[in-house]
Amino acid sequence: MERIGIIGAGQMGTGIAQICAVAGYDVRMIDVKDEVIAASLATIETNISRQVARGRLSVDAAEIAQQRIVTGKDYALFGDCDLVIEAASEDEEVKRDVLKSLVPHLSPDAIIATNTSSISITRLAAATDRPGKFVGMHFMNPVPVMQLVELIRAIQTEQPTFDTVRRLAESLGKTVSVAEDFPAFIVNRILMPMINEAIYTLYAGVGSVESIDTAMKLGANHPMGPLELADFIGLDTCLAIMHSLHSGLADAKYQPCPLLVKYVEAGWLGRKTKRGFYDYHSERPVPTR
């Protein structure tokens, strides 16, 4: 494995590109907007510079890593990639369109991985010309910091594909946890109902944003409160994951909180739009409820 493609230069695509380049892989990354790509490269530069300042990476290695990342808007960039990781928005129609556009450009042996948080790997695999060479590779946010990669086998995934992607995750310094292909897999099946319940707790007036987050940080030793974490993940992504759980498992306990729905309808998506359960326009996040 030498060259890795990434679709989507949002927070996940950016983190994946960074760790792949630092680990020595050539990276090709596309997105639909120039400004998103520019912001992604700026984030990578900041993060890599911090690694240099911390003495974890030499100046030369940092420069080489950044040169390994080639960006653009055209799927033809993926022609010589050994593996392409799809990290576009958490929307099945978007992902299907992306996969349809991708496959004509790929070499026959190339593997496709999806970083989806919740959507059926089996259905996405079936939307490609190579379901046996398709796998779920679910990185955690922030990618450079979090230790885990969840690997999800579609019913069609062939063992050599799975083994190759496991080796790739390990070569990136990650620890693998294997999940079967059920809605939202392991991490989000457990984490997202907790976040949704925190939003219900706010909706019911049990506590303010600050009291709920403080309670869970100091009372349950979570590194971030659930509402702060929801803003960090992206409220659109949180809602999409709850929809996958609700429709995929047909259980009322997964119904998304109406307040979450309203925030997403308002375009309050968390940190990425500078407003969610907190307002991020000033230096310190300000709770909005």
The answer to whether 60 is annotated as binding is no
d(CA 55, CA 47) in angstroms, rounded, equals: 13
Cβ neighbour number for residue 34 with a 10 Å cutoff = 11
Of 108 and 223, the one with the shorter C-beta distance to ligand CAA is 223
Q: Are 71 and 5 in contact (CB under 8 A)?
A: no
**C-beta of residue 135 within 8 angstroms of C-beta of residue 169:** no
What torsion, rounded to 10 degrees, do the Cα atoms 41, 42, 43, 48 define?
90
Q: What is the largest CA-CA distance in the chain?
A: 55
User: Residue 138 catalytic?
Assistant: yes
Q: Which of the listed partners (ligand CAA, ligand NDP, none) does 234 bind, with a CB threshold of 5 to 8 Å by partner kind?
A: ligand NDP
Q: Which positions lie near ligand NDP, rule CB under 6 A?
A: 7-13, 30-33, 36, 87-90, 94, 97-98, 115-117, 138-141, 233-234, 237, 272
Is residue 115 annotated as a catalytic residue, yes or no?
no
Q: How far is the CB of 153 from ligand NDP (least distance, A)?
A: 17
Residue 5 or 131 with smaller CB distance to ligand NDP = 5
Least distance between ligand NDP and beta carbon 64 (Å)? 25
The 3 state secondary structure assigned to 156-217 is CCCHHHHHHHHHHHHHCCCEEEEECCCCCCCHHHHHHHHHHHHHHHHHCCCCCHHHHHHHHH
Q: How many residues does the chain have?
A: 289
Q: Does the annotation list 141 as a binding residue?
A: yes
Marked catalytic residue, from 86, 118, 138, 243: 138
Residue nearest to ligand CAA (CB): 117
Q: Does 31 carry a binding-site annotation? A: yes
| DSSP of 70-115 | EEES-GGGGTT-SEEEE---S-HHHHHHHHHHHGGGS-TT-EEEE-
* Contact positions vs ligand CAA (CB under 6 A): 47, 50, 54, 117, 140-142, 144-146, 187-188, 191, 223-224, 229, 233, 237
Q: Among ligand CAA, ligand NDP, none, what does residue 8 contact (CB within 5–8 Å per kind)?
A: ligand NDP
Q: Which residues are annotated as a binding site for NAD(+)?
A: 8-13, 31, 90, 95, 117, 141, 272
Q: Which residues are annotated as a binding site?
A: 8-13, 31, 90, 95, 117, 141, 272
For the annotated catalytic residues, the residue numbers are: 117, 138, 150, 188
